[in-house]
Chain A
Amino acid sequence: MNVTVLQFPGTNCEYDTKYAFEKLGCNVTILWHKETKLPENTDLLVIPGGFSYGDYLRSGAIARFANIMDSVQTYAKNGGKVLGICNGFQILLEAGLLPGAMKRNSSLHFISKYHHLKVINNDNTFLQELNIGDVVNIPVAHHDGNYYIDEEGLKQLEANNQILLKYCTSEGEITNLNGSVSQIAGICNKEKNVFGLMPHPERAIEELLGCDDGVKMLQGFLK
């Protein structure tokens, strides 16, 4: 499986993402944002975490207009699988590939810690290895993870099983982390080929790092 990982000025999770997918047996290419074409054999495109363009103006707002993004739009519209992690999720929102927008955490603090997530829907590539109601422990590290969508949009997400993950306690009780509408941590598009989440599954792939709950998420793409 061929994975392409985008790199913008300020991206800082590209090598973690490369390491994680290589550990799962994938061929990984890191692609600089000034390129205009994705490698033709790309089976999965990952927009990794970091602070593209320093998060100036708004997180993901400037990256959205990078040269490579036209090709990303076409790839996604043709059904190509796209995963956005943290800043990657913010870029997908700004690019209109996922609905909603990101605000500053309600605490106004940067949050960096392991946190539990509950699987809300698994009828998609990303979470097919997990069961609905499963609780996974995945690190979060963000300042702007307060997901916002209006009431109508939320209804649509619910109706189409687009809500993937919510913040919860270790017992699986839904809990507020950053102010997100309905405590949402991750969503996908209606067509279920574009996925975005604020937590970092690529940082939870070995017991040595504290937890390997991220493996099952990333493995979903290998099927």
Chain B
Amino acid sequence: MKAIVNVALKQGVLDDQGKATHHALDTLGFKEIVKDVRIGKQIILELNSSNEDEARAEVTKMCEKLLANTVIEDYSIEIIG
């Protein structure tokens, strides 16, 4: 079983990397179509588990403890069986 964790800065916390990338996309001619850019990271975990609920609960603990800094970041978890 696999868990895909996406971590990104919370809405309301200025994302400087996203802002710089948005600016670059604007100058490349994508100004009309791109409304906003947020940049995050993806952490892929291979798990020794066959129980989706258990896996989700454990990965949530990992996010709260280490994978995300919940002062500034949000996370989402996708479990792939």
Contacts and interface: CB of A to CB of B under 8 A. Distances in A.
B71 A148 contact: yes
Contacts of A94: 69
Contacts of A61: 66, 69
A216 interface: no
A107 B13 CA distance: 16
Nearest to A61: B66
A115 B21 CA distance: 28
B10 to A, nearest CB: 10
Contact of A146 (B16, B20, B66, B71): B16
Given A103-B9, A148-B13, A148-B72, A108 B67 contact: no
Greatest chain B CB density within 10 A among A62, A94, A101, A146 is at A101
A106 B15 CA distance: 9
Contacts of A192: none
A103 B66 contact: no
The bracket for how many chain B residues form the interface is 10 to 19
Contacts, number: 32
B30 to A, nearest CB: 20
Interface in A91-138: 94, 100-101, 103-108
A33 interface: no
Interface in B57-76: 66-67, 69, 71-72
Given A103-B13, A148-B13, A179-B14, A108 B20 contact: yes
A83 B17 CA distance: 30
B19 to A, nearest CB: 8
A145 B62 CA distance: 25
Contacts of A104: 16-17
Nearest to A149: B71
B67 A57 contact: yes
Nearest to B20: A108
A32 interface: no
A65 B16 contact: no
Contacts of B13: 103, 148
By CB atoms of chain B within 10 A, which of A62, A106, A179 has the most?
A106
Contact of A106 (B16, B67, B69): B16
8 contacts: A103-B9, A103-B72, A104-B16, A107-B16, A146-B16, A148-B71, A179-B14, A179-B16
Given A94-B69, A108-B17, A179-B16, 10 more contacts: A57-B66, A61-B69, A100-B71, A101-B69, A101-B72, A103-B9, A103-B16, A104-B16, A148-B13, A148-B72
Interface of B: 9, 13-14, 16-17, 20, 66-67, 69, 71-72
Interface of A: 57-58, 61-62, 65, 94, 100-101, 103-108, 146, 148, 179
